[in-house]
């Protein structure tokens, strides 16, 4: 989309509106990618004109220079940053997406071993129930952790939205836990609403405190990401579970909702994803795809034909 023909003030308004499409953490990653992008082309003495309307050979050169030194996801984010920069300034993106996809796949094989993280264990309702049993619900911090865990899981929220990295600059966050009168969200010990009310009452939480704060040394301590994971992994160790990671909550929630029949588009909206990045969580491919193909007979028949050979066919 070109911004030509617009007044300077209108162009700035368009840029501001477009920039709202990405959250601040994404923009921060994109800025890092653009910095690396410009440093590379300064080093290679490539003209500014060649950077603005980037060509496939120019982008290929940039991606190739990063392969082997950066993780595939980092390179992909940097490329997305360059594309976003073109969109923001109304410049045409003329890159062959098929070639780019194959190129980025190649960076996965070339990625240094140190950049590859072990796959995160998805949280499940069974795991959450087991952790709950090994939490001390007479402990103020443990009550806050239990509430944070169930809320984050059912909201498919990033753990960093529920916890803080420090105790300053706290912002307001609204948590939406979807349910209907006909279908309660979740009975039993994983019920986030019950956990939330217990947290408010047991920790006697003032309205001006962080939602998952708890009494600590005469004041209230906001729940930090580090404290949350420390409590979780101590409970996991007692239960004989593997080491857990915060991102596993979002992964497990995504799988749960998809396996319950939620559409991919609805899941994308629920998780507040701007792209289809959440599909990398599909570790249970067969179960997830079965749910969605069976709901569409034509697609289901097509899948059956290409995956199950016809025994009577001799061609």
Q: 99 and 157 in one domain?
A: no
Q: 173 and 106 in one domain?
A: no
Q: 134 and 98 in one domain?
A: no
Residue 259 lies in a domain: no
Count of domains forming the chain: 3
Looking at residue 313, what is its pLDDT? Answer: 47
Q: 232 and 169 in one domain?
A: yes
Residue 278 lies in a domain: no
- What's the pLDDT tens digit per position in 250-265? 888 888 888 777 888 8
- What's the pLDDT tens digit per position in 65-97? 888 888 888 888 889 888 888 888 788 888 888
- Domain end among 115, 147, 180: 115
Residue 257 lies in a domain: no
Residue 271: pLDDT band by 50, 70, 90 thresholds? confident
Looking at residue 231, what is its pLDDT? Answer: 95
Strand partners, 219: 216
Residue 264 lies in a domain: no
Q: 135 and 107 in one domain?
A: no
Average pLDDT over residues 159-168: 67
- Domain end among 248, 263, 293: 248
Q: Which residue has the tokens 């991919």?
A: 264
Lowest mean pLDDT among 67-81, 108-122, 151-165: 108-122
Max intra-chain CA distance, the chain: 79
Looking at residue 285, what is its pLDDT? Answer: 52
CB-based contacts of 42, cutoff 8 Å, min separation 6: none
Residue 104 has pLDDT above 60, yes or no: yes
Question: What span, in angstroms and rounded, lies between the C-alpha atoms of 158 and 165?
Answer: 13
Q: 243 and 196 in one domain?
A: yes
Q: 229 and 139 in one domain?
A: yes
Q: 136 and 92 in one domain?
A: no
Greatest mean pLDDT among 1-5, 61-65, 82-86, 128-132: 128-132
Q: 184 and 73 in one domain?
A: no
Residue 181 has pLDDT above 50, yes or no: no
Residue 292 has pLDDT above 70, yes or no: no
Residue range(s) defining the domain that contains residue 314: 284-315
Contact between 102 and 59 under an 8 Å Cβ cutoff? The reply is: no
Looking at residue 295, what is its pLDDT? Answer: 60
Residue 137 lies in a domain: yes
Q: 139 and 89 in one domain?
A: no
Contact between 114 and 242 under an 8 Å Cβ cutoff? The reply is: no
Q: Residue 218: is it exposed, middle or buried by C-beta count within 10 angstroms (0-12/13-18/19+)?
A: exposed
Q: 79 and 147 in one domain?
A: no
Residue 315 has pLDDT above 50, yes or no: no
Q: Residue 188: is it exposed, middle or buried by C-beta count within 10 angstroms (0-12/13-18/19+)?
A: exposed
Q: What is the mean pLDDT of the chain?
A: 78
- Domain end among 198, 228, 248: 248
Higher pLDDT, 61 or 303: 61
Residue 182: pLDDT band by 50, 70, 90 thresholds? very low
Question: What distance lies between CA 197 and its chain's CA centroid?
Answer: 27
Residue 265 lies in a domain: no
Residue 141: pLDDT band by 50, 70, 90 thresholds? very high
**174-183 burial, b if ≥16 CB within 10 A, otherwise e?**
eeebeeeeee
Residue 275 lies in a domain: no
Question: What span, in angstroms and rounded, lies between the C-alpha atoms of 285 and 178?
Answer: 25
Question: What span, in angstroms and rounded, lies between the C-alpha atoms of 275 and 298?
Answer: 26
Average pLDDT over residues 45-73: 82
Question: What span, in angstroms and rounded, lies between the C-alpha atoms of 28 and 265?
Answer: 26
Residue 294 lies in a domain: yes
- What's the pLDDT tens digit per position in 183-232? 555 567 888 888 999 999 999 988 888 889 999 988 999 999 999 999 99
Q: 51 and 32 in one domain?
A: yes
């Amino acid at each position: 989309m070109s911004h030509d023909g617009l007044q300077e003030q209108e162009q700035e308004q368009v840029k501001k509106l477009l920039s709202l499409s990405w959250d601040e953490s994404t923009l921060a990653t994109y800025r890092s990618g653009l910095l690396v992008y410009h440093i590379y082309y300064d080093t290679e003495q490539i003209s500014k004109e060649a950077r603005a309307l980037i060509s496939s050979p120019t982008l290929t050169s940039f991606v190739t220079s990063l392969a082997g030194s950066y993780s595939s996801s980092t390179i992909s984010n940097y490329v997305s940053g360059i594309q976003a920069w073109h969109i923001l300034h109304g410049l045409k993106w003329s890159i062959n997406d098929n070639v780019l996809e194959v190129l980025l796949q190649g960076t996965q094989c070339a990625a240094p071993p140190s950049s590859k993280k072990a796959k995160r264990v998805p949280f499940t309702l069974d795991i959450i129930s087991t952790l709950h049993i090994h939490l001390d619900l007479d402990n103020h911090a443990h009550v806050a952790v239990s509430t944070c865990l169930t809320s984050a899981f059912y909201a498919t929220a990033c753990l960093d939205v529920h916890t803080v990295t420090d105790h300053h600059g706290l912002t307001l966050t609204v948590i939406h836990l979807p349910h209907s009168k006909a279908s309660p969200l979740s009975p039993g010990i994983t019920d986030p609403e019950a956990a939330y009310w217990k947290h408010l009452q047991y920790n006697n939480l003032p309205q001006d405190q962080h939602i998952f704060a708890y009494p600590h040394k005469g004041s209230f301590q906001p729940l930090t990401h580090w404290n949350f994971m420390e409590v979780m992994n101590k409970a996991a160790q007692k239960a004989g579970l593997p080491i857990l990671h915060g991102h596993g909550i979002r992964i497990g929630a995504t799988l749960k909702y998809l396996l319950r029949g939620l559409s991919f588009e609805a899941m994308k909206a629920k998780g507040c994803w701007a792209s289809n990045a959440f599909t990398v969580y599909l570790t249970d491919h067969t179960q997830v795809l079965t749910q969605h193909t069976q709901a569409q007979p034509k697609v289901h028949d097509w899948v059956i034909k290409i995956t199950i050979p016809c025994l009577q066919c001799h061609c």
